[in-house]
Amino acid sequence: MVGATPMKLDLTAHVDSEGRLTSSFQHQQVTECLKSFADSRCRIRIESSTRTLDQNSYMHAIFAGVADFFFEAGIRDHAGEKITTEAWKMYFKNKHGLTKFVNLHEENEPVEVSVSTAKYNRKDMTEFIEKVRHDDLILDSGFYVMTPEEFKKGVAREAE
């Protein structure tokens, strides 16, 4: 393989509790790719994929609770209506979420915008949720944000 161009592999895979790829096809793909780098240096990056569904459910439960709590406390939007769960999510994303810069027009400066939480990896989502849980608005209001463990137990109880 001397002189051959090494392969590039971008693979989303599931790893079992023992740290093994769950698909023999995925294992074969990784092995073939590594062989293409024989006798050379390569960079291997392993990272978690996007946030989990449990994390997403937990985040939405937090914002639903925030919406209910502040509505009961008399906090309304400009029309006197309940501030929606989605509006609270956008508020906290703007305050604590990941951002990126986009060019809306060639001649303009890049604009900073929030990144969709669907694009967050597990670490990003955990950090975002923790920032929301410890936000001054939340802490000063007296609203209690359940821990992830409490949320899991509550979801398990509801399923029974």
Would you kindly state where each structural domain of the chain is located, as residue ranges?
A: 1-46, 53-159
pLDDT, tens digit, 9 for 90 and up, residues 92-126: 999 999 998 888 877 778 888 899 999 999 999 99
Encode the chain in three state secondary structure.
CCCCCCCCCCCCCCECCCCCECCHHHHHHHHHHHHCCCCCCCCCCCCCCECCHHHHHHHHHHHHHHHHHHHHCCCCCCCCCCCCHHHHHHHHHHHHCCEEEECCCCCCCCEEEECCHHHCEHHHHHHHHHHHHCCHHHHHHCCCCCCHHHHHHHHHHHHC
pLDDT band at 155 (very low <50, low <70, confident <90, very high): low
**Is the model more confident about 132 or about 40?**
132
* 50-59 average pLDDT score: 90
User: By percentage, how much of the chain surpasses pLDDT 90?
Assistant: 49
pTM above 0.95, yes or no: no
pLDDT, tens digit, 9 for 90 and up, residues 23-37: 766 777 777 877 877
